[in-house]
Structure 1
Amino acid sequence: MNRFLASELPEIAPEKSLFHVIPAPYEASVSYGGGTANGPQAILNASDQLEVWDGISNPSELGICTHPAVDCSGTAEQVMENIEAAVANAAQHGIPVLLGGEHSVTLGALRALQKKHGTFGVVQFDAHADLRNAYEGNPYSHASVMRRALDLGLPVYSIGVRALCAEEVAVRKEKKLAFLDARDLALNGIPAALLPDGFPQRIYITFDVDGLDPSVIRATGTPVPGGVQWWQAIRLLERIVAGHTVIGCDVVELAPMPEDHASDFAAAQLVYNMMGVIQRFAKR
C-alpha cells in the first residue's frame, strides 16, 4: 500500500507526525454490497489527488505518517488484536487515523485507546445504529460495533442514523443514549447544544461513510437515502471537535466501485478534512 498524500508529502518519521494513518482492509461480515476490503487502498490512491491546502488550513504541516496495512487474515478476534496492536503503537506518537475495511475494525482501536486513556466518548457518524448484540450470529459484525463499544463502558453519541431495527430502538431506550438522527437534522438543523451534558472531554470519532447521503458517497454497502450532506458533516465535525481532545478517528465502509472515483476521492477528502478540523479546533 502507498502512503496517504504520497504525491505531495515526503515520507516522515512516526515521532515527527501527529496523524498516523493505519489501513485495516478487513471484510468478513458485510451484509449487502461488498468490497470494503478494498476501501483503504482506494482512499490512499485517491489521496494522491488531494491538495495539501484543505480550503482553510494545511493539516499536513502537523505530519502524516502512513503505517503498514494491518494483517486482516485469521479469526475476527485475531484481527481485532492486530488492529489493537497497530493503534496502540501509533498512539505512542500521535493520533491514530484508521482506514477501514468494514466498521467492525473500530473495536480494535477502541480497545487500544481505552487501555491508554481510560474513559472517552465515541462519536459515530452512520446510517445505522450498529447496536445489535450480534448479527447473523456474529458479535463482531459491523452491525454490532457500537454495542461492543457500550460493552466497554464507553458512551456513544450517534449522528445521521436513519435505519434501525427494533432491538436497537430498545437498546437506545434502555441505555438512555443521546443521538441526532438524520430526520431531525434535516428538519431542524444542527442543534445549539450538540453533545450531551457530561460527555467526556476526550473523544474518538468513527465515520461510516454511509452516514453521508449517497449523493456524496455512493460506494458503500448500504447507501441509505436521506443522509448527512458534505458541508453539514464538516460543520458537525467542527462543533464536535471544538474544545475536545481527539484521541483517534476512523473512516470506514468505503466499498469502491469501478468508474466511481468520485466516492473514493470524497472519502480521501473526508479523512484529510477531519485532520484539518482537528488541527484548527481540537484541544491538545
Structure 2
Amino acid sequence: MDRSATAAGGGPDDGARADGAGGRERPTGTPAPGDRAVARRLTAEIWIVLGLSLGKSAVYAVVSLVAKLTAGPPLAEQTTTLNPSRSPRPYLDLTYQLLSIGFALLPVALALYLLSAHGRSAVRRIGLDGARPWRDLGVGVGLAALIGIPGLGLYVVGRAIGITVEVQAAALNAAWWTVPVLILAALQNALLEEVIAVGYLMERLRELRWGTPAIIAASALLRGSYHLYQGWGAFVGNVVMGVVFAEYYRRRRRVMPLVVAHTTIDVVAFVGYALLPDAWLEAIGVT
C-alpha cells in the first residue's frame, strides 16, 4: 500500500515538485521554461486563436476587398450582405442560423479557457462577469451612442464619396424567429470581437511586454482589418472604435460594457434594417 508523503512530513511526491508560478507540478529535475520559451509559446497561441477566429476573418476580408477593387464597378456600386438566409425552408434556415452562431462562439470559449490557466477565472480577469450589471449597462449604452451615431454618419459619407460598399445588414427571410436570431447574431458578434480582439489579445500582448500604444494599435487594426470587406470607410470607422474600446479596457479592465455597446450597435443595425420602411433606409443610403 502506498504511503502518504504528507504523513512522512513532506510536500509533493518524490517524483514531482511544485511550480511556484502556477501551483502546478512537474517532474523533478525539469527546468522551468525561460522567458523566451514562454514568449514563443504565447506568440504561437495568439496566432492559433486568431487563425481560428478574427484573424481568419481579416484574411478573407482583405481578399474580398481586393476582389471588389478589381471587379470593375466602383465600391459605391457594390453590395455586401450580412446575416443572409441559408435555406428557403424556414426551420432549416433557423437550424443553420443557430448552428452558425453556436460554432462561431467556440473561439470565445477557447480564449477564455486559455486565459484561465493556473485556476484563474477568465471572466473575472477580463471583466466579463455580472459584478456591476447596471453600471456596465449604462456605460455600454453610452459607448454605443458615442460610436454608433458618428459611425452611421461616416457610413453615409463613405457611400457618398465612393469608399464604402452598400451594406445590407439583414437578409433573413421573414419568420417569427427573425428578430430573435438577429439579436443572437448581434450578441455573438459582440462576444467574439470584444473577448478576442480586446480582452484576450490585450492581456496576452501585455504578458509579452508590448508597450501600451502598440497594444492599442494592434487591437484597433485587427478590428478594422476584418471589416475591410465593407470598404475603406468601414476600416477607418472600426479602427477608431477599436482605439476607443481598447483604451476603455486598458483603464477599466472590463469587457462587459464593450459587449453591451457592441450588441446594442448591431441590434439597432440588424433589427432596424429588417423592420424599418424602405423609404427610411433609402434616406441613409443602406438599401
- Computing the radius of gyration from Cα coordinates, the structure with the larger value is 2
Tell me if both proteins adopt one fold, taking TM over 0.5 as the criterion: no
| TM-score normalised by the chain length of structure 1 | 0.26
Higher strand share: 1
Higher helix share: 2
Q: Which has the higher contact order (CA 8 A, sep 6+)?
A: 2
| TM-score normalised by the chain length of structure 2 | 0.25
